[in-house]
Amino acid sequence: MVNKKISKMRIRMHAFDSKMLKECCEKIIRAAKNTHSTLKGPIPMPTKRKVYCVLRSPHVNKDSREQFEIRIHTKVFYISTTSLDYFFTLQMPPGVFFSIKYLN
């Protein structure tokens, strides 16, 4: 009997929309169940906020300003699996950015 090597990887995802990120997490969970992989996650990371302050008028009314905010939602998965190719063929929704790192 041939034993396949177990590979460990970390998938880190971030998105501006939390609904899209949740949809992506559900796809990874389903893929892990289909391949009988060991899954830890989704581990929610702190949400990063970027606030931008912009003058409404460039010449007058210095006190009149607008504020804009961007929120970046992040989640992390740790996966131990024998079939890495299955995770690379997943179709993720647009707007979700992710990075895959091998841990062994």
What b/e sequence results for 53-63 when a residue is b if at least 16 CB atoms lie within 10 Å of its CB, and e otherwise? Answer: eeeeeeeeeee
The verdict on residue 95 lying in a domain is yes
Domain count, the chain: 1
Residue 36 lies in a domain: yes
Domain extent, residue 97, equals: 7-47+74-102
pLDDT at 41: 84
On whether residue 25 sits in a domain, the answer given is: yes
The overall average pLDDT reported for the chain is: 88
Domain for residue 13, yes or no?
Answer: yes
Q: What average pLDDT does this structure show over 17-42?
A: 91
Whole-angstrom Cα distance, residue 77 to residue 100?
10
Residue 43 lies inside a defined structural domain of this protein: yes
19 and 85 Cβ atoms separated by less than 8 Å? no
Compute the radius of gyration of the chain from its Cα atoms: 20
Output the domain CATH number for residue 33. 3.30.70.600
Which residues lie across from 96 on neighbouring strands? Answer: 15
pLDDT of residue 60: 82
Q: Please indicate, yes or no, if residue 78 is contained in any of the structural domains.
A: yes
pLDDT band at 3 (very low <50, low <70, confident <90, very high): low
Q: Classify 97 as helix, strand or coil.
A: strand
The reply to whether 31 falls in a domain is yes
**pLDDT tens digits for range 38-80:** 999 899 999 999 999 998 888 888 888 899 999 999 999 999 9
What is the spatial distance between Cα 72 and Cα 19, in angstroms, rounded to a whole number? 12
Residue 85 inside a domain? The answer is yes
- In the chain, the percentage of residues whose pLDDT exceeds 90 is 47
- Global confidence as pTM: 0.79
